[in-house]
Amino acid sequence: MSARHHAASSPVAEASALSAFARAKLPTRWGVFEVVSFANVAGEPVEHVAIVHGDVTDGRSVPTRIHSECLTGDVFGSLRCDCRDQLDLAISRVADGHRGVVLYLRQEGRGIGIAHKIRAYELQDEGLDTAEANLRLGFAEDLRRYGIAAQMLKAMGIRSVELHTNNARKLEGLEQGGVEIVRRVPIVGPERPENARYLATKRSKFGHLL
């Protein structure tokens, strides 16, 4: 199956339910969280994790952020994107409130992986935007799916959320996965010369509400 064909499927194409695989205390610079990993129906662990602050066991209107992995931004502090800014803001919001969840999805480079993402960076250095670069490499503009996020939330007993996002596809993914969106909260980081074109592309080609 080609990348283009794969991307045409529903953002909630995942059908199998998840369960919690392991839980552990996670002290961070923002405070103490619980980190949760997950397994599929066969009991095999998956790569996505959640960090949880406070008591979310009532499962209703839980402040939630879905964050797709960005090694260059989240770890190396790249200014080409706003990923690290959004992740830091999301975790600090959850820590400042009495409860909340951040889902960390291993969907690097809009789903193309780190190696191809660096190739996309090369093309961006030559003048393409992030969407054009992915297309030039033979991928769809965005291969990420969010049905897995709905499964992660359900595995923790969460049925409705206050979703911190600018991306309408995340709303769609959760709703199609059976998680109610009580309200959407914008999560906007600073615009810099290094990420201005990236943010403009998010608005014009990916429909982000920025």
Active site residues: 142, 144
3-state secondary structure of 154: helix
Residue 93: phi and psi, rounded to 5, are -65, -45
H/E run at residue 181: strand 180-185
Sheet of strand 100-105, all strands in order from the earlier edge strand to the far edge: 19-28, 31-39, 45-53, 100-105, 62-68, 160-164, 180-185
What's the rounded Cα separation, in Å, for the pair 142 and 156?
27
Q: Which two tokens stand for residue 21?
A: 């695989």
What's the rounded Cα separation, in Å, for the pair 184 and 70?
22
- Pairing verdict, β 62-68 and 180-185: unpaired
Q: Which two tokens stand for residue 110?
A: 């809009």
